[in-house]
């Protein structure tokens, strides 16, 4: 078998043969090869995470008309490694009264919740860790571990600010998970499968063109799920100092921070997979698995850049406004969109591709227009109510 056709299979078979040749049991050799593969993936992801630190600092510097890291190494590329050394040598503290086991476990769970998501991410047509036919369910379940790590970190710190920050972030995450999961049903409807690789293979036409509104709602919900601006209520410096991770120092804090950056990059990748064809791009993915990996990473980086753009542009939203926006607007629109897409998919089944795409796109435009009109009408009524109350109050005076 050619290495370039199926590199994972060839490398795994070769390593297994080497270990068996050293006298190891075949089953044990296979388990060791799988473990080494997981270790390599984690190392690659951590290197990407280090690069993301530099990218984010450079991007925010440009947004704020600053230079950013530029001293250590060319273009400041060595700065993230200096940050890692600083975190490693900082004093590792545990607050009095903290639940030590839960307190120390929370940062590890935060990082793990991101890393295990990549188990079902197809990097190329022949490079998939586990090709589950219920891959989206796995993503939903694994992502919930991040929510658990935040509530664990906040509660175990024995600090009221940490608890408030954790509760606020968990409230946001649970709330915005609803429209996000609803939007993950739309690629499932188009592909007829919950498998991540099956969704990619079904996108002869990017699902974004079939349901752009779903892509927008998914991105909004993903930003809220990440707890990044304008949804970073868990780290409201003006009232919570630092939020759920206020008691963490050194590498424990670094794990929370690294997990947040990698989570944002991962969600950018899922956005590219669900709505922009994943590793597919005009057949280049069939030339070499290297092209497929680069295509997926570029799409993930574009999604990550959009998340950064929103974070460093918009102001923090008040928590009651944020939750009202989700439950009174985003969630109803998401459910309506799922029903409309499912209905249109049933009506247009077997229709020519141009008719199917046009019908789906028009349905999305209609749902978006009606939603905006409803919001505009509600805003007008609220404005009239407030102005009427002011007039009555002025008359009494």
Contact between 37 and 8 under an 8 Å Cβ cutoff? The reply is yes
Helices (H), the chain: 7-21, 26-63, 79-89, 100-115, 135-156, 160-191, 196-201, 207-210, 212-226, 237-240, 250-275, 289-311, 319-325, 331-347, 353-396
- Judged against a pLDDT cut of 80, whether residue 310 lies above it is answered with yes
Instruction: Provide the angle, in degrees to the nearest 10, between the axes of the packed helices 250-275 and 79-89.
Output: 140
Phi, psi of 391 (to 5 degrees): -65, -45
Helix or strand or coil: residue 249?
A: coil
pTM (predicted TM-score): 0.88
Instruction: Give the mean model confidence (pLDDT) for residues 133-138.
Output: 86
Length of the chain: 397
Contacts of 53 (CB under 8 A, 6+ apart): 79, 80, 83, 258, 261
User: Following DSSP, what letter does each residue of 54-92 receive, concatenated?
Assistant: HHHHHHHHHHTT---S-SSSGGGTTHHHHHHHHHHHS--
Give residue 145's pLDDT band: very low, low, confident or very high (50, 70, 90): confident
Higher pLDDT, 240 or 305: 305
Q: How far apart are the two ends of the chain, measured CA to CA in Å?
A: 89
- Judged against a pLDDT cut of 70, whether residue 34 lies above it is answered with yes
Taking only the tens place, the pLDDT of each residue in 322-338 is 888 899 899 999 999 99
Angle at 298 between CA 292 and CA 113, to 5 degrees: 90
Taking only the tens place, the pLDDT of each residue in 221-266 is 988 888 777 877 666 656 666 778 888 888 888 888 888 888 889 9
Distance CA 309, CA 199 (A): 27
pLDDT score at 6: 67
**CA-CA-CA-CA torsion for 220, 226, 232, 233, nearest 10 degrees?**
100
Residue 177, token pair as written in the block: 């998970």
**CA-CA-CA-CA torsion for 39, 42, 43, 44, nearest 10 degrees?**
120
Distance CA 50, CA 117 (A): 18
């Amino acid at each position: 078998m050619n290495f370039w056709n199926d590199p994972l299979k060839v490398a795994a078979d070769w390593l297994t043969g080497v270990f068996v040749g050293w006298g190891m049991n075949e089953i044990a050799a296979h388990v060791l090869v799988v473990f080494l593969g997981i270790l390599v993936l984690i190392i690659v992801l951590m290197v990407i995470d280090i690069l993301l630190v530099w990218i984010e600092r450079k991007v925010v510097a440009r947004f704020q008309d600053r230079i950013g890291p530029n001293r250590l190494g060319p273009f400041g590329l060595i700065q993230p490694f200096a940050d890692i050394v600083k975190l490693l040598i900082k004093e590792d503290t545990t607050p009095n009264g903290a639940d030590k086991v839960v307190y120390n476990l929370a940062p590890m769970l935060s990082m793990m919740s991101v890393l295990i998501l990549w188990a079902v991410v197809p990097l190329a047509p022949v490079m998939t860790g586990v090709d589950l036919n219920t891959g989206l369910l796995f993503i939903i379940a694994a992502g919930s571990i991040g929510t658990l790590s935040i509530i664990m970190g906040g509660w175990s710190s024995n600090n009221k600010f940490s608890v408030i920050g954790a509760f606020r972030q968990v409230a946001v995450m649970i709330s915005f998970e609803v429209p996000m999961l609803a939007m993950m049903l739309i690629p499932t409807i188009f592909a007829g499968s919950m498998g991540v690789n099956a969704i990619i293979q079904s996108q002869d036409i990017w699902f974004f063109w079939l349901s752009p509104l779903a892509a927008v709602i998914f991105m909004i919900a993903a930003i809220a799920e990440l707890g990044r601006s304008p949804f970073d209520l868990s780290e409201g410096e003006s009232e919570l100092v630092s939020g759920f991770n206020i008691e963490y120092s050194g590498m424990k804090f670094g794990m929370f921070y690294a997990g947040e950056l990698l989570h944002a990059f991962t969600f950018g990748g899922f956005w590219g997979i669900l709505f922009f064809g994943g590793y597919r791009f005009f057949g280049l993915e069939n030339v070499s698995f290297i092209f497929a990996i680069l295509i997926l990473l570029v799409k993930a980086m574009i999604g990550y850049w959009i998340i950064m753009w929103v974070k460093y542009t918009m102001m923090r939203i008040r928590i009651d406004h944020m939750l009202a926006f989700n439950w009174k607007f985003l969630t109803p629109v998401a459910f309506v969109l799922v029903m409309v897409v499912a209905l249109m998919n049933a009506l247009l089944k077997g229709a020519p591709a141009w008719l199917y795409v046009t019908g789906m796109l028009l349905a999305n435009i209609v749902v978006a227009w009606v939603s905006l009109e409803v919001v505009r009408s509600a805003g007008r009524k609220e404005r009239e109510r407030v102005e009427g109350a002011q007039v009555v109050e002025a008359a009494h005076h």
